[in-house]
Structure 1
Amino acid sequence: MSNSIAYKSIPIPGNIPLTQRPKNAFAAPKVSLLDPFPRVQTTYLSWSGFRTSLSPVTGNLTAPKCNASVVTMENNASVTFPTRPSPAETCRTVMELCSEGTLCTLTEDGWPFGTGVEFALDVQGMPVLCFDPLSVQAQHVLVHKRCSLHAQLEQPGHRKAQCILMGTLSKPEDKILKQRLQVIWARRFGKEVHEDHLYVVSVEKVLQSQDLGEEGLWVDALEYSRATADPLRDCVAKIVKDMNDKHWEDIHRICNIYTDLDVEVEEASMVWIDRLGFDLRLLTRPQREILEVRIPFPREVTDEKDARSSLTYMAQLAWEVEKNYAPPEFERVKCIQN
């Protein structure tokens, strides 16, 4: 299992770069980790390994750090290992966690018409919608079947993951399919609906982005339909809240030990966690910059208990390294710049 770190450097608007500041110009306005900010750059770093060692000069324990590295196999071919879920998996996770979105259909004269809707997903991730056959959306479908569905997932720290599904909207005719869709809707919203009120979006294109203002990635419709949502999706909010409220010292310690950013971190908070790792948001000083760091798990986790166990393990190792206690040896992790 590979491990890699995504490093996002986002200067606060209005700040002057350090190289252009006078010596007495380090004072900056108060910045909170919960403030929204623009993203301008992404750099990926990766683990060089987990093995720690004693310095021959100082006798102190050397902490595991993260840097850019490439693995070369015997046939001289570089191999990339995943450090975060694929865009298709991220799309399925966003759609699974959202139940409301904006449906955009076309009017008779070709104007886009957006309305808020509830939606559920079938086993292939196709959105299931419910509205009256006499509604405006239903009338639009009679003329133009093309549509788009936009969903947005609110994450801690003002991050908003986006997913746009484009395809054709139609009313199913098969009786058995209608019954299945009724069951899907009842499980999602706890209420029964008439079978004539159900519509399905046949997805043809998918656009996914990590946040507002970030460039989106196109996802193949077949890859989207075959992907699965992250196994931690239902417990993400609880884990993130617990870590930020009860274990903020561990977050700060993990950040100091598991990363090599060459900056002093004033605040650190967790914003997301999945089966392959977690994202931290950092406030640095004296630059007053906000960074986002991706820290991978030593191995893939499968559920909430497994994730909490890995976080405890990483926090314990970070504490031992910080205190210069000799930790047990770990297998060296080889990975590549992502």
Structure 2
Amino acid sequence: MQRSVLQAGRSAQHQTRASGSSRRPFSSARLLQNVVCNAAATPANGNGANGAHSKPGSKQVAKYPSPAQTIRTLVDISSEGTLCTVGAGGQPVGIPVTFTTDKQGQVHIHLDRAMVEMANLASNPAISLMVQATAQPARSVGAVTLMGHVSLPSDASEPVPLAVEKCLYFGGLDLNNRGQEVSAADVAAAEPDVLRKAAAELVHNWNSERAEDIYRIVSAFQGVPLTEMSYAELLWVDYLGMYIRTEINGREPEVVRVPFYRPVLDERDARSVITMASQIAWEADRAYTPPLPAIFADAAANN
């Protein structure tokens, strides 16, 4: 029965991708939550592991990256945006531009000196740059508007550095944040996500080759029998957890956040943690206790 449910869900998942559209108690739940998301003290990995959505001084690992971290990630994985300058009479003008970032996260905008925005900037250096990833799955993560000013360099061939004064963060998958103002200092102090370059491939691989893992993880995390899961799709992975779109029989579709039990360090570490979560859900579903390897069994007997 479970296999037929998983096969039906995977079939629907493939049909959804082909059409280009998006679809919006169980004993293993507590065990999986203990291993996947309920963290003890864990050293920070350079991404503010104990910061986002945690009380100051708390040793519990955050469940979400902070808005500042996500802003750094979005800017780092993007190279296009919409630049808005102030034209004659105070009329705002938006144009598409490309940009690059340096190792410190400084944004450098590439401008055509013959375009109308140059005249606007000469009279008013205030600008905003709206950034959102151009392709899925990164596009669904969120968007940010960087607000500040520029100083035009004397060399017309040089990109223009953007002095950011504040940011507006629009969470996509993180529904808790809609138009939240974030200071430039917080963004400058944050680091982009360690999985930002690998997340799209992780999402593709798990959905296309290991969809059963995603079904098992989210069903166990929500405390719902696998037979009641009609659809599950991994949407995004960051160093603190996963977003999964799920449909449970008789319920409205929803996006579920499944936190990791500790921050992951790199792509390989993320693969390990997700695989472990799926294995734990599988074992709990079958009330399976793996035998103790001989080397440990012998040591236990001797003690």
Same fold per superposition (TM over 0.5): yes
Determine helix, strand or coil for the equivalent of 2:99.
strand
Which residue in the other structure is 1:201 paired with?
Answer: 162
Secondary structure in structure 1 of the residue aligned to 2:157: helix
Deviations, residues 259-290 of structure 1 (Å, cap 9, x unaligned):
23699431001000011111100022223x21
Q: Percent identity?
A: 33
On the 8 A contact 2:147/2:165 being kept in 1, the answer is yes
**Are 1:101 and 2:88 matched, yes or no?**
no
Which aligned pairs between 1:18-97 and structure 2 lie closer than 5 A? 34-35=21-22, 63-64=30-31, 66=33, 79=58, 81-97=61-77
Residue 140 (structure 2) aligns with: 159
Q: Name the CA shift for 1:93/1:296 in 2 (closer, same or farther; >3 Å).
A: same
Structure 1 residue aligned with 2:278, among 274, 299, 315? 315
Q: 1:252 aligns with which of 175, 195, 215?
A: 215
Report the CA distance between 1:143 and its aligned residue.
0.7
Q: 1:170: which partner in 2?
A: 151
User: In structure 2, what is the equivalent of residue 266 of structure 1?
Assistant: 230
Determine whether 1:135 maps to 2:102: no
Instruction: Report the RMSD for the aligned CA atoms in angstroms.
Output: 3.2
Please report how far the alpha carbon of residue 172 of structure 1 lies from its aligned counterpart in structure 2 after TM superposition: 3.5
Distance (Å, rounded) in 1 between the aligned partners of 2:16 and 2:278: 24
> Shift of the alpha carbon at 1:225?
1.1
Q: Conserved in 1, the CA contact under 8 Å of 2:85 and 2:93?
A: yes
Inter-partner Cα distance in structure 2 for 1:65 and 1:316: 10
C-alpha contact (below 8 Å) 2:219/2:225 kept by paired residues: no
Using a 3 Å threshold, how does the CA distance of structure 1 residues 118 and 62 change in structure 2: closer, same or farther? closer
Partner residue in 1 for 2:4: none
TM-score by length of 1: 0.66
Q: Is 1:235–2:198 an aligned residue pair?
A: yes
- 8 Å CA contact retained: 1:35, 1:157: no
Comparing both structures, which one devotes a greater share of its residues to strand? 1
Q: Secondary structure at the match of 2:89?
A: coil
Q: CA deviation at 1:136?
A: 1.2
Quick one: structure 1 residues 157 and 144, their matched pair in 2 at CA, closer, same or farther if it must change by over 3 Å?
A: closer
Alignment partner of 1:210 is 2:190: no
- Corresponding position of 2:50: none
Deviations 1:293-314 (A, max 9, x none): 1111122111111110111111
Query: Post-superposition shift, 1:239?
Result: 0.4
Question: Following the alignment from structure 1 to structure 2, what is the Cα–Cα distance between the partners of residues 78 and 99?
Answer: 36
Go from structure 1 to structure 2 and tell me whether the alpha carbon gap of 1:123 and 1:92 turns closer, same or farther (over 3 Å shift).
same
Which structure shows the higher helix fraction? 2
Aligned length: 250
Structure 1 residue ranges without an equivalent (≥5): 1-30, 38-59, 72-76, 174-193, 329-338
Flag the structure with more relative contact order, 1 or 2, with Cα contacts below 8 A and sequence separation at least 6: 1
Task: Give distance in 1, aligned partners of 2:244 and 2:146.
Answer: 28
Cα deviation 1:129-184 (Å, max 9, x = unaligned): 122333211111111110000011243397351111000022246xxxxxxxxxxx
**Which segments of 5 or more consecutive residues in structure 2 lack a partner in the other structure?**
1-14, 41-55, 292-303
